[in-house]
Chains A and B, each alone.
Chain A
Amino acid sequence: DVKVTQSSRYLVKRTGEKVFLECVQDMDHENMFWYRQDPGLGLRLIYFSYDVKMKEKGDIPEGYSVSREKKERFSLILESASTNQTSMYLCASTTGAGAPQPQHFGDGTRLSIL
């Protein structure tokens, strides 16, 4: 069974702090994604990565960066946290090959910026 693990379920940080959200998957998947989920807005793609050290901007990348140094790990970085980044953050992974495959999600990190 695919497991996507997000390092924290809940996180509280202060405005201006640099924040790291970590995600690890155990299925050797090529593709990894970071989304934020807000009520009434659904899931919006922040960044994704299709290989180690490769990254692509999603629909709302402003204020975020990512790092993928190892295939199993994908980190989301809030360079200088702001209150409008308070949200639920979801990580997902999927294999890159062939026909469309399910995205496997972690259980999310609820981040509050004070």
Chain B
Amino acid sequence: QQQVKQSPQSLIVQKGGISIINCAYENTAFDYFPWYQQFPGKGPALLIAIRPDVSEKKEGRFTISFNKSAKQFSLHIMDSQPGDSATYFCAASKNTGFQKLVFGTGTRLLVSP
């Protein structure tokens, strides 16, 4: 019930293409769904996040789509660039003061020039 399942494990996309990473959860108490981006040698950093009261959130080339009934959410990267090559983690948390996150297993994205 605490797990967040993420797929694919790795992804290769051509420059200019669309990258799509999917996550699914079981715990209906989760109500905050962030995505973190991690470059080699660095810690993860928040990329974009969504609450379940909306079905989509867009920030620049990055969009989260959220399907509450299916308990799934996904990250879309439009016009993917080589600089987007990184590992992406989805996560989920309940709205408590502890801000405790459950992370997916990560997707290594490579955008080829």
User: Chain A: residues with CB nearer than 8 A to chain B?
Assistant: 4, 31, 33, 35, 40-45, 48, 50, 56, 58-59, 90, 92, 94-97, 99-108
Question: Known contacts A90-B43, A102-B34, A106-B43: does B106 contact A42 (CB below 8 Å)?
Answer: yes
Among B14-22, B61-69, B76-84, B90-98, the one that faces the other chain is B90-98
Is B101 located at the chain interface by the 8 A CB criterion?
yes
User: Chain B: residues with CB nearer than 8 A to chain A?
Assistant: 2, 6, 9, 32, 34, 36, 41-46, 49, 89, 93, 95, 97-106
Question: How far, in Å, is B26 (CB) from chain A's closest CB?
Answer: 15
Question: How far, in Å, is A60 (CB) from chain B's closest CB?
Answer: 12
What is the interface of chain B mostly: helix, strand, loop, or mixed?
A: loop
**What residues on B are CB-neighbors of A106 within 8 Å?**
43
B6→A42 contact, CB < 8 A: yes
Q: Which of A42, A50, A59 contacts B89 (CB 8 A)?
A: A42
Q: Which of B44, B49, B93, B106 contacts A90 (CB 8 A)?
A: B44
CA distance A103 to B105 in the complex (A): 17
Question: Known contacts A40-B9, A43-B89, A90-B43: does B105 contact A97 (CB below 8 Å)?
Answer: no
B98→A96 contact, CB < 8 A: yes
Q: Which of B6, B32, B44 contacts A100 (CB 8 A)?
A: B32
**What residues on A are CB-neighbors of B93 within 8 Å?**
100
Question: Nearest B residue to A41 by beta-carbon distance?
Answer: B105
B44→A43 contact, CB < 8 A: yes
**What residues on A are CB-neighbors of B97 within 8 Å?**
50, 96-97
B43→A96 contact, CB < 8 A: no
